[in-house]
């Protein structure tokens, strides 16, 4: 009876980390060059088969494009809106804009353009002012659009500055290294920013083609240590390849044949932003190194008594003999 209880506990609790879990990528097999998570932490998924209107998300697009493109969009939009209102003022008649100082059509156009720019931004220097109901109504509408437009773009700029960005540095390779008489899967992560990260947690999941079923399998790996309190330096995340590990007994050829990819997710509380932030990275089979260990990273001190930690050594490793 007691043996049955022990067996039940071992099967249902001790090995609970071996329960297969699909994180959302499905069980299909793909080409070995395909990876699920890109190096920037985003999933390698492009949605097709939907209309452009279903895919369109202006807020997402403006928030995620690079800064150069974002500023180019703002400046281009600003100029086009002004040209639109200049066209309206010209159609109404520039003589309805009091204070214009122009002798040619070109000068009148640019005077109207600068009046539009002042109205759109609600600066209103006062030299040029609208005359008549029609011109005044257009100027009032332009002022309203200017207020709404700049409020939106101000929010977008604030969102871009305050949005968490990919900041953690991951080692280029995942190593199969000697570890306490056995082997272990190791990756190294460092925080290159000056912000303090607290209560940092790591989740590591492996996906591979099961040798027997030939279906894609997902297993969350048991770690030597799941969390650290302060993430000010580097952290070597270690998965001991014990008898319960899906990697036990695997060679480098097995890792490549079974199309292994390891997902590493880091969660931490950022003191600067006062919120929890997530980072993701993955390692394909071609990024594994068998029989190696990370070199220790140099620690020195300056005259102020500060600890100097050289992150240029994050990816450095050396060959190491495995215990089998």
pLDDT in tens, the chain (324 residues): 434 433 433 344 334 444 456 666 665 666 666 676 766 666 666 666 667 776 777 887 888 888 899 999 999 999 999 999 999 999 998 888 888 888 888 888 999 999 999 999 888 888 888 998 999 999 999 999 999 998 998 899 988 887 766 678 899 999 999 998 899 999 999 988 878 888 999 999 999 888 787 888 889 999 999 999 988 888 999 999 998 899 998 999 999 888 899 999 999 998 877 888 888 899 999 999 999 999 988 878 888 877 777 888 899 999 999 886
| Closest by Cα among 267, 298, 263, 294 to 281 | 263
Residue 314 sits in a domain of what CATH number? Answer: 2.60.40.1400
Beta strands in 121-260 (DSSP E): 129-130, 169-170, 174-179, 182-190, 197-209, 216-220, 227-230, 234-241
- Contact indicator for 293, 322 with CB cutoff of 8 Å: no
Q: Is residue 24 part of a domain?
A: yes
Alpha carbon distance 201, 240 (integer Å): 17
Whether residue 259 sits in one domain with residue 199: yes
76, 78, 79, 80: CA torsion to nearest 10: 80
Whether residue 201 sits in one domain with residue 310: yes
Whether residue 213 sits in one domain with residue 259: yes
Q: Is residue 125 part of a domain?
A: yes
Domain carrying residue 205: 19-41+167-319
Whether the pTM exceeds 0.85: the reply is no
Whether residue 195 sits in one domain with residue 79: no
Q: Is residue 300 part of a domain?
A: yes
Q: Is residue 50 part of a domain?
A: no
Whether residue 240 sits in one domain with residue 221: yes
Residue 134 sits in a domain of what CATH number? Answer: 1.10.287.70
Beta-bridge partner residues of 97: 130
Whether residue 314 sits in one domain with residue 175: yes
Q: What is residue 37's DSSP assignment?
A: B
Number of structural domains, the chain?
Answer: 2
Q: Is residue 217 part of a domain?
A: yes
- Contact indicator for 116, 82 with CB cutoff of 8 Å: yes
- Out of 128, 162, 196, pick the residue that ends a domain: 162
pLDDT at 302: 81
Whether residue 118 sits in one domain with residue 93: yes
- Out of 103, 137, 162, pick the residue that ends a domain: 162
């Amino acid at each position: 009876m007691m043996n049955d209880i022990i067996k039940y506990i071992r099967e249902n609790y001790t090995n609970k980390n071996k329960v297969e879990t699909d994180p959302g990528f499905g069980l299909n097999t793909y080409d070995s060059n395909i990876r699920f998570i890109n190096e920037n932490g985003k999933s390698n998924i492009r949605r097709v088969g939907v209309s452009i209107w279903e895919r369109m998300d202006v807020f997402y697009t403006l928030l995620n494009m690079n800064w150069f493109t974002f500023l180019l969009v703002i400046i281009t939009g600003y100029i086009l809106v002004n040209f639109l209102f200049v066209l309206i003022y010209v159609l109404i008649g520039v003589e309805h804009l009091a204070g214009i100082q122009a002798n040619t059509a070109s000068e009148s156009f640019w005077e109207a353009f600068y009046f539009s720019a002042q109205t759109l931004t609600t600066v209103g220097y006062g030299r040029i002012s609208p005359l008549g109901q029609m011109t005044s109504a257009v100027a009032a509408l332009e002022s309203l659009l200017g207020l709404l437009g700049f409020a939106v773009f101000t929010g977008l700029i604030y969102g871009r500055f305050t949005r968490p960005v990919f900041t953690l540095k991951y080692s280029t390779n995942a190593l199969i290294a000697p570890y306490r008489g056995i082997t272990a899967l190791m990756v190294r992560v460092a925080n290159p920013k000056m912000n303090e990260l607290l209560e940092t947690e790591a989740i590591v999941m492996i996906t591979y083609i099961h040798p027997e079923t030939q279906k894609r399998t997902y297993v969350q790996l048991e770690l030597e240590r799941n969390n650290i309190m302060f993430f000010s330096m580097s952290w070597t995340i270690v998965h001991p390849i014990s008898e319960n590990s899906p990697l036990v007994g695997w060679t480098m050829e097995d890792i490549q044949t079974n199309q292994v990819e390891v997902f590493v997710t880091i969660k931490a509380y950022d003191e600067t932003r006062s919120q929890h932030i997530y980072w993701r990275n993955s390692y394909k089979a071609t990024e594994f190194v068998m029989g190696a260990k990370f070199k220790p990273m140099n620690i020195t001190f300056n005259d102020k008594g500060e600890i100097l930690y050289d992150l240029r050594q994050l990816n450095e490793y050396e060959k190491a003999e495995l215990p089998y």
